[in-house]
Structure 1
Amino acid sequence: MNALTWLTGRPPVLTDAQRQRCEALPAPAPLNDGPLKQQRLVVLDLETSGLDMRRDEVLSIGAVVIDQGAIDLGQQFECTLQRQDHKVSASVLIHGIAPSAVAAGKAPAQALLDFMEFLGDSPVLAFHAGFDQHMLRRALKQTLGLRLRHSFFDVAELAPMLCPQANLNQGGLDAWTQYFGLQVHQRHHASADALVTAELALILFSRARKQQMDSLHILEQRLTGWRRRQRSLSF
C-alpha cells in the first residue's frame, strides 16, 4: 500500500524499480498511548544548501533510531545527496560539505528512497523540526512524487515545555546540550547532530514520564496546549 503517493502536475521520471519501492513504503503509524520506552522513533537532521525553504536543497541526511528507550547504534543512516549544479555558498562554512562531496553523492531519488525505507512507519524527532519537515517534504514531492505524512516532534519545543526552569524558550541545540552537560564532539554534521538530538530527547522523555506524559499521543496533546499558551504570552 502506498499511502504516501502524491502526484501533482508532471510526475517525476522514475524507473520501474523506483516506482515499486515507492509503492512498497508503509503508511506512517498513528500515534498511540503506548509507553515512550516501547516506541521506535527516528531522529533526523538535514544539512542543506541554505535556509531558504523555497529554493535551497537537501545536501545530507543523518538519522539515528531510538528504540525500546535507548539509542540503537546499529540503526543509523547517513547519506550525501548528489547535486550537480551545487555552488559554493556561505553554508559550506557551517556544514563543511565540499562541492566535490556533493558531486560524488548518491542520486537524490536513491538517497531519499533509502531514507524512507529506513524511516519505515516511525514518527520523527528533530531539533527545529519544522525546517527539516518542510525541506524533506519538498524533496520527496519534487524527486519521487511522494507526500510526507509522518508525525514530527520538535525537540526545540519539548525541551522548554518539559523544563521551563531552564529559561531557554528560544534556546538552540548548543544551549540545551550545555544545560544538560552533554558532550558534543562535532556540530553541523547531520549524523552527529542527530545523535546529540537523540541523547537530548532521551533526557526529555525521562522528564516527561515524571510529569505523567508517557506516550507520544499525550505529548502531542500537551504540546498543542503549550503552543497556544506561548502564542497568548506573545501578545
Structure 2
Amino acid sequence: MLNALRRRLSRAMLADPAYTFLFEAGPPDEVVVIDCETTGLNPRKDEIITVAAIHVRGERILTSACFEAVARTERKSHPDAIKVHRIFDAEARAGRPMRQILPELLRFIGGRPIVGYYTDFDVRMLDRYLTRLLNIRLPNPRIDVSALYYDRKYKGAPDHLMIDLSFASILRDLGIPPLAQHDALNDALMTAMIYLQLRDMARRGARIARDRAGAVVGLGAAG
C-alpha cells in the first residue's frame, strides 16, 4: 500500500509526461540488470563514470540488447576508485554528459524491475541525475542479488557465523567464471548470470550448503 502511494505521488511529480512509461509494467518476465562505475562511494558527491545495462527475458540474457555509456564527469576520481575501474579522468572527460545519456538509459530500462549487486547504491547514483531531469526517483521495483544469495546460503544460519556477501564469493559458490571485474558491462553480465541461477535455486527450494565452520560444501536441496 505504501509503495503504491509513493508511486502515485512520484508520477504526479513527474516533470515530463513523455516518461510516464517508467510507471507502466515492463514486458512480461523481463528485468534489466544495471551496473555503474563511479568516482567514489558517496552518492551525494560522487559521479557516474560508466553505466551498463542488459535485458534478461525468462531464462535468457539478451546480450544483443545491451546498453553501455561513458559519462563526462566534473569531479575527479578518488585514486582508490581509479585502481578499481581503471578509467582515468581524461577518459571520463571525453564522455557524454549524463543529461544526454540518461534519457537513452531510461528508455532502455522502461518499467522493468531493476536487478543489481547492492542495487540501492546504483539506483541512488542514477537518482542524483534523474531528480534534476524529471523531479522524481526511479520508481522501478528492485531486486538485489546479494539478498537472493543471502537467502540461499545464510538464512536461518547461527548468529556467530561469519557472513560473506562479496561478489567474488557469490561467483565462486555458484561456479560462475569471473570476467574482468569493475567493467560495468562485465559486472552487469555476471550479475545477470547470478540472478538467473539464484532465481532457479529459489524456485526449486535449493540451498547452498555449508559445513559447521560456514564453508560451502556444495549445492543441495532445502531440508
* TM-score, normalisation: structure 2: 0.77
Correspondence 1:123 to 2:149: no
- Mark the CA change 1:173 to 1:118 in structure 2 (over 3 Å): closer, same or farther: same
1:26 aligns to what? 21
2:212 alignment partner in structure 1:
none
Higher percent of residues as strand? 2
Call closer, same or farther: CA 1:192–1:138 in 2, change over 3 Å.
same
Amino acid at match of 1:195: L
Q: What residue in structure 1 maps to residue 3 of structure 2?
A: none
Structure-2 separation of matches of 1:108 and 1:137? 11
For residues 118-139 of structure 1, what are the alpha-carbon distances to aligned partners after superposition, in whole Å with 9 as ceiling and x for unaligned? Answer: 0011000000111112111122
Aligned identity (percent) is 26
**1:81 corresponding residue in structure 2:** 71
Give the 5 Å matches for 1:1-235.
3=11, 5-6=13-14, 23-29=18-24, 39-83=29-73, 85-90=74-79, 91-164=81-154, 169-211=163-205
| Superposition CA RMSD, Å | 2.6
CA apart distance, 1:143: 4.2
Evaluate the alpha carbon distance shift between residue 197 and residue 4 of structure 1 in structure 2; reply closer, same or farther with a 3 A threshold.
farther
Q: In the TM superposition, what is the alpha-carbon distance from 1:111 to its structure 2 partner?
A: 0.5
Contact kept? 1:109, 1:144, Cα under 8 Å? no
Superposed displacement of residue 112, structure 1: 0.7
Post-superposition offset of 1:29: 4.1
Which structure has more relative contact order (CA 8 Å, sep 6+)? It is: 1
Shift of residue 25 of structure 1? Answer: 4.6
**Residue in structure 1 matched with residue 5 of structure 2 by the alignment:** none
Structure 1 stretches of 5 or more lacking a match? Answer: 8-18, 32-37, 213-235
Q: What TM-score, normalized to structure 1?
A: 0.73
1:157 maps to amino acid = A
